[in-house]
Each structure stands twice: as structure tokens, then as C-alpha cells.
Amino acid sequence: MTAAGTAAHRGGLDTSGARVTFPRVMHAEWTKLWSLRSTWVSITVTALLIVAFGLVQSHLTARHLAEPGGGGGRDAAGAALNGFGLAPFAVGVLGVLVIGGEYATGTIRVTLSAVPRRLPVLWAKAAVFGAVVFAVCLAAAVTAFLASQWLFLSGTRLSASLGTAGVPRALAGAALDMALIGVLSLGIGALARNTAGGITATVGLLLLAPGLVHFLLPDSSVAAYLPSDAGQALMSLARPAGALGPWTGLAVLCCYPVAVLGAAAVLLVRRDA
Amino acid sequence: MIEAHGLTKRYGDRTAVDDLTFTVRPGTVTGFLGPNGAGKSTTMRLVLGLDRPTGGRVTVNGRAYRDHPAPLCEVGALLEARAAHGGRSARSHLLALARSHGIPRRRVAEVIDLVGLREVAGKRTKGFSLGMGQRLGIACALLGDPGAVVLDEPVNGLDPEGVLWMRNLLKGLAAEGRAVLVSSHLMNEMAVTADEVIVIGRGRLIAATSMHELTRPARVRVVSPDAARLGELLAGPGVEISSPRPGELEVRGLACEPIGRTAAAHALTVYELTPRAVGLEQVFMELTRDSVEYAGRATSGGAAA
């Protein structure tokens, strides 16, 4: 009665090929993501932030290295990746908006009536947003690294190339860190179903939690397991005392989005939309 | 075809929908009426699987909504006039929806034209009026060319031209063989649009019948110089006759035809024989009098509206 019956009347649409599939849900989420100006603004700001802070820090490091007896300096990629200290906030806010914005505007009811099984929506949002953040941050990290080396650090003690041991891992690790934080904040947005609450929780986890832990438990190893510190382990060439190794850091970092997204999935299915 | 059986939804200890059973048939416009808070919107959300029923079930074309491989092609819904992200254009909103089902882009342009939003399709919906929002919602509902359409208060915010457009659209959708369920507070609009009526109050079914049946003439006014004699002749079981003034009768329980025949058979003169239909509004008020949740008090002693 549906497809055949009405298509004949309208003489238009052939709905025989229409059905919900996961790639199509991803395509829909891709369309929604890029059809908002706020996405373009946040993504551009994130990329510029990473490149600009990387260049500034590399410039300062190079000047420091040039001074007589100037030692220290961070690892070869550390200065160029300086912007990754700030980028999580831009990425986190956008991650919350990706799903919180749907609740704020009522679009979520339209989305969930198109995909009434619901979970594909959450997975598709996480996959699309995570992939976009990874791609953009990787490009920004490589740009920041190459430009820093070319402009400031070539010929110094911190001279390095993309072929230098650990550098590809640090650059990809920085991008992966952002992607995972993006997915984490998206999960927080899905739990909060509200942009203001989601953003507060995300900033709290990324900014206040490390400060509190360092302040209350200065000698504890707990801090190393926070998303901020675990992420740092992923993008450092050198490994400071007490920090996790890069692979342990990755494993720890993955636990956060997995746990939050899992909880969001359970509630998404259970709660009335 | 939308079928609900014993549909019940409780929020905490408040029962929003209570044991509702009804059917929305293809080819008809079914008006869904009830006072504010009666449970109309909740029922529609249950149809679309947005809320989970506490008891009973509702199916669309024989299956639960969520079990359809292409839900947008089974039921199109307009639940809220403003259910689009204000920062997104109408076209992008529809395109994203279409892509979730693999509906071709061409169809997006079609529904935009159908609802008359072509000029503003590229604009962000933030600036849309309530009426434009309703039209965008209709476009979403029709995107998948569904066999059933569920619309919550689609006439709200439309200008007179829009109201007429909506009336013809709903009738057209039914004429194409679709099942149309539409809620409204505008009784006069419903009276001319709907074929079937479902009335609920406090979540319970009050009436489910045809519009004709609900508003059929309840009494006949007869003006005759022989009113008294005619009244005696018409009297019988199930017939109620009153005479508001000499020479005039109000007859309940008989249609015009038998009254006319009786008069003719006895050679009585009749000046006027008028069926008095009861307005849908009046029927609705009487049906739902006991289930109005938010009643205002009349200001000057008249009946509360």
C-alpha cells in the first residue's frame, strides 16, 4: 500500500531503493555537520590555533637554543605541538554541540524518527566527527611541525624531519588525542542532552580535573591517567618521569570515550526522546 | 494504516494515554481532537516510537514503526513546527534527512516546491515564521512519499491562504490513498477537512466515529399552522417533541423525511422543515466537558469557552 500505491499517484518517487543503512546514516550526519556555519568556524579556529601556537612556541624555543649555554628545550616535536594544549577546548565544545544542538533545537526528534533504532545515529555521529577531527588535526599538526622546522628549528639541536624516529607517532598521536576527546565530548553531550550542561562537564573534565588532582594529590600517579595527561603521553617524543608510555596512554585515553559513549548508548535507547 | 491497541503511556504516576484503541484508515483524513493535555501529542510520539508505551501497542502498516527498514516511507510526521536547527538551511535539513534513507536529491527539490518554500530553501531556518516552519515540517513529512501522515497542529501559525492550502493538501493526501492523522484545536477547520474523528480526553478515548455521524442533524425545526396536530401525529417511542412557541416544533429522533411524509399524509401545511445540524465545536464541548484539564473561568457569567 505504501510505496507502490502512492508512488503511482504522485507519479514521482520510486521508494523501492529507500532504506536506512549505516553508511547512509553517516552520510546524513556528514551533511548535518558541514551544513552549520559553527562547524566551519570551530574547525578553522582549531586548525589555526594549532599552527599559530606551534609556530610561536617554536620561535621562542629557537631563540632560547641560540642563547649561549641555552640548553633544555622540549623535544623536537613538542614546541610545534604546543597548540594541542588549547585545541581540546575548541574540539570539546564542538563535540558537545554536534549532539546537544539537536536536543536544543528539537531536531533530535526528526533525526530519531528517521532512524528509529537510534544507536546508528550515535555511532555515525561519533565516527564522522572523530574522523573529521582526526583529519583536520593531523593536517594542522604536520603543517605546524614542518613550518616550525623550516622557519626556526632546522640546524638547531632540535632539528628533525618527518622521518625522525617517533615524530610520525607524535603527530598522529596528537591528532588521535583530539579525535578521542571529540568523541568523548560528543558522548557527554548525548548524556547531558543539553549544550550548556555538556560544555560545562567537558571543560570540567579537561581543565578542572587535572588541576584538582595535581593540587590534592601532588605525588600520586592518578594524574597520569586523566585524559589530558594520557593524551600528552601520546604526542611526546620524550617520556617524563611518572608519565605513561605512548601505547599505554592511548589505551587509557580510549577508555574515556568508550565508557561515556557506552553509557550514552544505553540511555539513548532507554529514554523517551 | 495506523492501528493502536490498548495503547497506554504513564509518566511517573500521571497517565498521559490510557488504553487507547483506534484505527486510522488509508484514504481518509482522521481528525484527532481533545482539550489541551488530553494526550494527542503523546499518542503521536508513541506512533513514531519516540516514546515507549507503558502498555499496549501501535503499528503502522502492520509493523511497529521502528521495525520498518525505511520508516520515512511508511509514516511522515510533523510533530513540532520548529524542529529544525536554526543555523541550517531548509534544503540542508531535508537533504540530511533524505540521505539517511538514500532518497534522491531530486526529491528534496520536489517537496520544497510542493510546500512553496523554493525562494527561501537556501536560507537558514532561524528567520522562518511559524507558518514557514510548518511548511518545512510538511516537506519533511512528505519526503519519503509515505503511506501514512501524522501531523500535530499543522494549521497553527498559517495565514488564511495557508489554512486553505493545508486543507486541500490533507484532502489530496487522503484522496491519493494515504492514511492521514491530524490534530487540531480549530473545530471549524476540522469539520470541513476530516472524514473521521477520534476524540480523546484525559488520555482516554471518548469517541471514534465519522464526522458525519458525529455532527448529523440532531433535531428538526418544523414551522406549521397545524403544529399542535402534527406534533400529536409524530409522537412515538424515541421521539421527543417540544414547542418553543406556538406554530413551531422542535423534533428530536426523526429525520425530515418521515416528518414531511406524515404532514403530507394528513394534508397539513408546513412552512418550514429545517434539519438543525449540531456544530462540531458544540459536540466537542459536550463530549469533553468532563475532561478539560485547564479550564478558564468565564468573565461575565457566560459558559467557559
Q: How far is A185 from chain B (nearest CA, A)?
A: 20
The 10s digit of each residue's pLDDT in B188-230 is 889 899 999 999 998 999 989 888 888 776 788 999 999 999 9
Q: Mean pLDDT check: name the lowest of B7-11, B45-49, B277-281.
A: B277-281
Q: Which residue of A has its CA nearest to B137?
A: A110
Measured in degrees and rounded to the nearest 5, phi and psi for residue A70 equal -70, 110
Q: How far is A83 from chain B (nearest CA, A)?
A: 29
Q: Which residue of A has its CA nearest to B85?
A: A105
Domain boundaries, chain B: 2-210, 219-276
Q: What angle do CA A168, A56, A169 make, to 5 degrees?
A: 10
B100–A28 C-beta distance less than 8 A: yes
Is the CB of residue B23 less than 8 Å away from at least one CB of chain A? no
How confident is the prediction for chain A on average, in pLDDT? Answer: 89
B99–A24 C-beta distance less than 8 A: yes
Does residue B252 have a pLDDT over 60?
Answer: yes
B102–A24 C-beta distance less than 8 A: yes
pLDDT at B271: 94
Strands B272-276 and B219-223: antiparallel
Give the residue carrying C-alpha cell 523554493. B118
B26–A109 C-beta distance less than 8 A: no
Of A21, A27, A101, the CB nearest to B85: A101
pLDDT at B269: 93
Stronger pLDDT, B299 or A217, i.e. the higher one: A217
Of A31, A106, A115, the CB nearest to B83: A106
Interacting residues of B24 by C-beta distance below 8 A, sequence separation 6+:
B1, B2, B3, B30, B148, B179, B180, B181, B196, B198
pLDDT at B297: 64
Q: How far is CA B125 from CA A139, B152, B291, in A?
A: 33, 20, 37
> Which B-chain residues 166-185 have CB contacts (< 8 A) with chain A?
176-178
Q: At what angle do helices A167-192 and A195-203 cross, to 10 degrees?
A: 140
Average pLDDT over residues B18-33: 95
Residue B1's Cβ-count burial label (10 Å; 0-12, 13-18, 19+) is middle
Is the CB of residue A116 less than 8 Å away from at least one CB of chain B? yes
ipTM field: 0.89
Is the CB of residue B118 less than 8 Å away from at least one CB of chain A? no
B176–A18 C-beta distance less than 8 A: no
Does residue B304 have a pLDDT over 70?
Answer: no
Size of interface A-B (CB pairs under 8 A): 146
CATH fold group of domain B219-276: Alpha-Beta Plaits (3.30.70)
A12–B107 C-beta distance less than 8 A: yes
Q: How is residue B238 annotated by DSSP?
A: T
Give the residue carrying C-alpha cell 567537558. A202
Q: With contacts defined as CB-CB under 8 Å, which chain A residues touch B109?
A: none
Stronger pLDDT, B72 or A218, i.e. the higher one: B72
Q: Computed from CA positions of residues A178, A179, A184, A190, in that sequence, does the dihedral angle turn out positive or negative? A: positive
Please give the single-letter amino acid code of residue B192.
V
Q: How far is B27 from chain A (nearest CA, A)?
A: 11
Interacting residues of A11 by C-beta distance below 8 A, sequence separation 6+:
none
Residue A102, number of CB atoms within 10 A of its CB = 24
Q: Which residue of B has its CA nearest to A104?
A: B85
Q: How confident is the model at residue B266 (pLDDT cuts 50, 70, 90)?
A: very high
Q: At what angle do helices A119-148 and A246-270 cross, to 10 degrees?
A: 150
Q: With contacts defined as CB-CB under 8 Å, which chain A residues touch B101?
A: 18-20, 24, 114
Average pLDDT over residues B108-115: 95
Please give the single-letter amino acid code of residue B212.
H
For chain A, residues with pLDDT lower than 50 are 1-11
Predicted TM-score (pTM) of this structure: 0.87
pLDDT at A8: 36
Is the CB of residue B102 less than 8 Å away from at least one CB of chain A? yes
Is the CB of residue A2 less than 8 Å away from at least one CB of chain B? yes
Of A24, A109, A115, the CB nearest to B79: A109
The 10s digit of each residue's pLDDT in B139-163 is 999 999 999 999 999 998 899 999 9
Q: With contacts defined as CB-CB under 8 Å, which chain A residues touch B51?
A: 272-273
Q: With contacts defined as CB-CB under 8 Å, which chain B residues touch A109?
A: 50, 79-80, 83
- Angstrom distance (rounded) from CA A139 to CA A44: 12
Q: How far is B146 from chain A (nearest CA, A)?
A: 6
C-alpha cell at A56: 610561536
Is the CB of residue A21 less than 8 Å away from at least one CB of chain B? yes
C-alpha cell at B146: 509515505
C-alpha cell at A174: 596528537
Interface test with chain A among B65, B85, B89, by most A beta carbons within 10 Å: B85
What DSSP string describes chain A?
--HHHHHHHHS---GGG----HHHHHHHHHHHHHTSHHHHHHHHHHHHHHHHHHHHHHHHHHHHHHSTT------TTTTTTGGGGTHHHHHHHHHHHHHHHHHHHTHHHHHHHHSTT-HHHHHHHHHHHHHHHHHHHHHHHHHHHHHHIIIIITTSTT---TTSTTHHHHHHHHHHHHHHHHHHHHHHHHHHTSHHHHHHHHHIIIIIHHHHHHHH-TT-SGGGGSHHHHHHHHH-SS--TTPPPHHHHHHHHHHHHHHHHHHHHHHHHHS--
Q: Note the CATH number of domain B2-210.
A: 3.40.50.300
The 10s digit of each residue's pLDDT in B225-247 is 999 999 999 988 888 888 888 89
Which strands make up the sheet holding B55-60, listed edge to edge? B14-24, B2-11, B55-60
